[in-house]
A and B are shown apart, each in its own frame.
Chain A
Amino acid sequence: MAIPSLRSSGKCLKKSALTFLTARDPVMQCLAPRLSRSMATEVQLPERQVYNPFIPAISRRPPPIVPDVLATVYSFPDMEPLRFTHYPANHLHLPLRRDILHQAVVYEASCHRGMRKASTKWRGDVHGANRKIRPQKGTGKARLGNKKSPMLRGGGVAFGPHPRDMSMKMPRKMYDLAWRIALSYRYRRGELIVVQKVQDLEMEDSWWIEKIMQHNHWGNEDGRSLLVTRRVMPKLFEAMNGSKGGQPGAGRHGIVKEESDIDVKDLLELGRIVIEKRSLDSILKDHSSDLNKTVPSAVYT
Chain B
Amino acid sequence: MPPRLHSLLRFSHSIVRPNIDVLLFLGPFHDTPQQRSASILASLSKNPGSFRTAKRLGRGPSSGKGKTSGRGHKGQKQHGKVPLGFNGGQTKDEVVAGKRGDHFWAAFTEDMKPLNLCKVQDWVDQGRLDPSKPITIKELCESRCVSNVKDGVKLLAKGSEQFSTPLNIIISRASAKAIATVEAAGGSVTTRYYTAFAVKKIVQGKMDPINSLQSQIEAGAETLKRPFYNRLPDPTSRKDIEYYRDPAHRGYLSHLVPEGHGPSLFYRTPGTGKIATRKASKAKAADGANRIW
Question: Which A residues contact B (CB, under 8 angstroms)?
Answer: 74, 77-81, 98-99, 101-103, 105, 185, 193, 199, 201-202, 208, 211-212, 215-217, 221-224, 265, 268-271, 295-299
Q: State A270–B1 Cα separation when bound (angstroms).
A: 29
Q: List 6 A-B contacts (CB under 8 A).
A: A77-B12, A102-B44, A222-B35, A297-B128, A298-B140, A299-B130
Interface membership of B37, Cβ < 8 A: yes
Contact B46 A99 (CB under 8 A): yes
Contact B41 A268 (CB under 8 A): yes
Contact B142 A298 (CB under 8 A): yes
Question: What residues of chain A lie closer than 8 Å to B220, measured between beta carbons?
Answer: none
Q: How far is the CB of B185 from chain A (nearest CB, A)?
A: 19
Q: Which single residue of chain A is at the shortest CB-CB distance from B145?
A: A298
Q: How far is the CB of B131 from chain A (nearest CB, A)?
A: 10
4 closest Cβ pairs, A-B complex? A223-B37, A298-B139, A102-B44, A78-B12
Question: Which B residues contact A (CB, under 8 angstroms)?
Answer: 1-3, 5, 8-9, 11-16, 18, 35-37, 39-41, 43-47, 50, 126-130, 135, 138-140, 142-144
Contact B12 A101 (CB under 8 A): no
Q: State A270–B139 Cα separation when bound (angstroms).
A: 49
Question: What residues of chain A lie closer than 8 Å to B139, measured between beta carbons?
Answer: 298
Question: What residues of chain B lie closer than 8 Å to A223, measured between beta carbons?
Answer: 35-37
Q: How far is the CB of B83 from chain A (nearest CB, A)?
A: 22
Given the contacts A77-B8, A199-B2, A223-B36, A299 and B128 also touching, CB distance less than 8 Å: yes
Contact B126 A295 (CB under 8 A): yes
Question: What residues of chain A lie closer than 8 Å to B3, measured between beta carbons?
Answer: 77-78
Contact B44 A101 (CB under 8 A): yes
Q: Which single residue of chain B is at the shortest CB-CB distance from A223?
A: B37
Contact A269 B15 (CB under 8 A): no
Contact A98 B130 (CB under 8 A): no
Question: What residues of chain A lie closer than 8 Å to B35, measured between beta carbons?
Answer: 221-223
Q: How far is the CB of B6 from chain A (nearest CB, A)?
A: 10
Contact B47 A99 (CB under 8 A): yes
Q: How far is the CB of A71 from chain B (nearest CB, A)?
A: 13
Given the contacts A77-B8, A223-B37, A297 and B44 also touching, CB distance less than 8 Å: no
Contact A201 B45 (CB under 8 A): no
Given the contacts A101-B44, A102-B46, A296-B143, A215 and B14 also touching, CB distance less than 8 Å: yes
Contact A298 B129 (CB under 8 A): yes
Question: What residues of chain B lie closer than 8 Å to A202, measured between beta carbons?
Answer: 1-2
Contact A222 B16 (CB under 8 A): yes
Question: What residues of chain A lie closer than 8 Å to B14, measured between beta carbons?
Answer: 79, 215-217
Total inter-chain residue pairs, C-beta < 8 Å: 98
Among A74, A101, A211, the residue within 8 A (CB) of B5 is A211
Among B8, B44, B143, the residue within 8 A (CB) of A98 is B44
Q: State A269–B44 Cα separation when bound (angstroms).
A: 12
Question: What residues of chain A lie closer than 8 Å to B43, measured between beta carbons?
Answer: 98
Q: Which single residue of chain A is at the shortest CB-CB distance from B43?
A: A98
Q: Which single residue of chain A is at the shortest CB-CB distance from B4?
A: A208
Q: State A297–B128 Cα separation when bound (angstroms).
A: 4
Q: How far is the CB of A168 from chain B (nearest CB, A)?
A: 13
Question: What residues of chain A lie closer than 8 Å to B140, measured between beta carbons?
Answer: 298
Question: What residues of chain A lie closer than 8 Å to B50, measured between beta carbons?
Answer: 99
Contact A298 B8 (CB under 8 A): no
Question: What residues of chain B lie closer than 8 Å to A217, measured between beta carbons?
Answer: 14-16, 18
Q: State A199–B8 Cα separation when bound (angstroms).
A: 15
7 new A-B contacts at CB < 8 Å, known A201-B2, A297-B128, A298-B139: A78-B11, A102-B45, A102-B46, A222-B35, A297-B142, A298-B130, A298-B140
Q: Which single residue of chain B is at the shortest CB-CB distance from A225?
A: B37
Contact B45 A99 (CB under 8 A): yes
Question: What residues of chain B lie closer than 8 Å to A103, measured between beta carbons?
Answer: 46
Q: State A271–B139 Cα separation when bound (angstroms).
A: 51
Among B12, B16, B130, the residue within 8 A (CB) of A80 is B12
Q: State A265–B47 Cα separation when bound (angstroms).
A: 19
Q: Which single residue of chain B is at the shortest CB-CB distance from A80?
A: B13
Given the contacts A98-B44, A221-B35, A297 and B15 also touching, CB distance less than 8 Å: no
Q: Which single residue of chain A is at the shortest CB-CB distance from B40?
A: A268
Contact A208 B5 (CB under 8 A): yes
Question: What residues of chain B lie closer than 8 Å to A270, measured between beta carbons?
Answer: 37, 39
Question: What residues of chain A lie closer than 8 Å to B130, measured between beta carbons?
Answer: 298-299
Q: State A268–B44 Cα separation when bound (angstroms).
A: 10
Chain A CB within 10 Å — which of B5, B40, B140 has the most? Answer: B40
Question: What residues of chain B lie closer than 8 Å to A216, measured between beta carbons?
Answer: 12, 14-16
Contact A79 B37 (CB under 8 A): no
Question: What residues of chain B lie closer than 8 Å to A78, measured between beta carbons?
Answer: 3, 8, 11-13
Q: How far is the CB of A206 from chain B (nearest CB, A)?
A: 13
Q: State A99–B44 Cα separation when bound (angstroms).
A: 6
Question: What residues of chain B lie closer than 8 Å to A221, measured between beta carbons?
Answer: 35
Contact A297 B40 (CB under 8 A): no
Among B2, B9, B44, B45, the residue within 8 A (CB) of A211 is B9
Question: What residues of chain B lie closer than 8 Å to A74, measured between beta carbons?
Answer: 15
Q: How far is the CB of A245 from chain B (nearest CB, A)?
A: 26
Q: How far is the CB of A61 from chain B (nearest CB, A)?
A: 20
Q: State A193–B2 Cα separation when bound (angstroms).
A: 20
Contact B41 A265 (CB under 8 A): yes
Q: How far is the CB of A196 from chain B (nearest CB, A)?
A: 14
Contact A269 B9 (CB under 8 A): no
Q: Which single residue of chain A is at the shortest CB-CB distance from B17?
A: A217
Q: State A188–B50 Cα separation when bound (angstroms).
A: 27
Q: How far is the CB of B14 from chain A (nearest CB, A)?
A: 5
